[in-house]
Amino acid sequence: MIKNFEYVTPASNYLETESIDFIQAYHLSHSQDNEADVSRGVLETPDKATPSRWRKQNIQRRKKEKAKSSETWDTLMIVVEERKLKLGRLVLPANTEENNKNNDEVKRLKTQRDLHHRQAAAMQNSLREEVESSKTKGDKIVLTFDLQQTLPTPSLIVGPAFYLPTYNLGVHDYVSGKATMFMWPEITAKQGSEEIASILLKYISSKNTTGQKDLVVFTDNDKNKNWQIMSLWSQLVRENKFRIIEHRFLISGHTYLPCDCDFALIAKHKKYLGQIYSSKDWFKAVQKSKHLMCSLWNKVIFSLDSIPISKKNVTDDKGPLQFNKVLCFHFESQNPNKMLVKHELNGNFKQVNIGKRGNRLCQQSNGILENLKKKYNEPVQLNSKKVEDLKKLMQYIPPVNQNFYLNIFKTASNVATEDIGTEYNDVQCVDGEPNIDFDEEV
């Protein structure tokens, strides 16, 4: 830990010394001119000046002073958590002697940073290689998927507003360059791993996979890493839908997924629509973005509990699995009871036995995906306080758009209503893509 660094807070004009666990250090040279460096004086707050005004008045001056001192100062930037940045505006070494004592720690942190950047670059290179190989040979599907930030429904310009979340899962095919958006309101289903796995299953089932034996999936390294998704991959290879499935996780902070660009297009076209009154208006934003628009009803949300999988926390060599640190999951149809994991990009795969004892998985588990049970047999019950908040917004919603919310209010009151999903049955075909009917009985 780097200790005894001096820093100045925006609202104070004195120096403090405190133990901290991050660096934004400037190494003083051996020149005598550095003994009275101007950067320290720049950080002091003038009397009777608020922190915000201080920042605005001194930002140009600080930039000039930093530029002047850049020739004699060696800068080392370490990425830190945002909450830790609140400790101070700028961190300076207390003195040259103290800085020399921390050289070993500085070198260690710099090595970690360089390793992090090399891993991120290597993972991006592997992504490009898989896409180029798929375009050349045509023997694999390369996908990515991600959840968009919750879409507020309704989205109004009034002050007091309470929202019913609309969820959106984007699936992007790297080879064809086409993206599919799957939207559903909170009243239809929740936002969980089984919901995402069900959508992926329907998406893969709708694609023509003739001649495509492998599936490679790239996602960011967060909530997409869970046992429900892994159980789906294991069952797909067990039923010989694919020969090999690999799920690779890009390094955090260096993902650059195309789904982010797709979501930005939706946000762009939302501006032209003005106010959003229901989830159907979000579908229109997707349609204007030239994406295949699909509705999602609770009949396609499945429970994956019937898929036989043993959630082990150790590998076959008795080592810890460290599920959250895995960078690549590998499944093969020739050995469906094994899950191969890799914690380092250039490391070796480790085996994990995911077969349940007493189960002949290869012989008894075929056809499970076609007979999964529905997770929701009725609309999701909303919190009573949220329903009351939505009622307060009815005065701002035109009568023609109120049926969506009136059905929700009736459902919350346990009154028999018409199928809420009827509003989303107008699925359209865009750019010659086939229509995927998610409202039919599975």
Tens-place pLDDT, residues 59-96: 666 666 655 544 444 444 443 333 344 344 444 454 55
The percent of residues above 90 in pLDDT, for the chain, comes to 8
Confidence of residue 229 (pLDDT cuts 50, 70, 90): very high
Whole-angstrom Cα distance, residue 165 to residue 337? 39
Rounded mean pLDDT, 308-321: 88
The percent of residues above 70 in pLDDT, for the chain, comes to 63
Q: Look at strands 5-8 and 164-173 and give their pairing.
A: unpaired
Flag whether pLDDT at 420 surpasses 50.
Answer: no
**249 touches 126 (CB < 8 A):** no
pTM attached to this predicted model: 0.66
Least confident of 77-81, 218-222, 383-387: 77-81
Whole-angstrom Cα distance, residue 70 to residue 63? 10
In this structure, what token pair is assigned to residue 53? 């005004």
Confidence of residue 162 (pLDDT cuts 50, 70, 90): low
Flag whether pLDDT at 307 surpasses 80.
Answer: yes
Rounded mean pLDDT, 416-421: 38
Say if residue 403 is exposed, middle or buried (CB neighbours under 10 Å; 0-12, 13-18, 19+).
middle
Confidence of residue 227 (pLDDT cuts 50, 70, 90): very high
**250 touches 218 (CB < 8 A):** yes
Q: Where would I find the beta strands (DSSP E) of 235-375?
A: 244-249, 292-295, 328-332, 338-342, 350-353
Confidence of residue 34 (pLDDT cuts 50, 70, 90): very low
**133 touches 52 (CB < 8 A):** no
Q: In degrees rounded to 5, what are phi and psi of residue 102? A: -100, 10
Rounded mean pLDDT, 48-61: 57
User: Mean pLDDT for the chain?
Assistant: 70
Q: According to DSSP H, which parts of 87-170 are helical? A: 96-101, 103-137
**Could you tell me the residue ranges of all domains in the chain?**
5-101, 122-424
**156 touches 275 (CB < 8 A):** yes
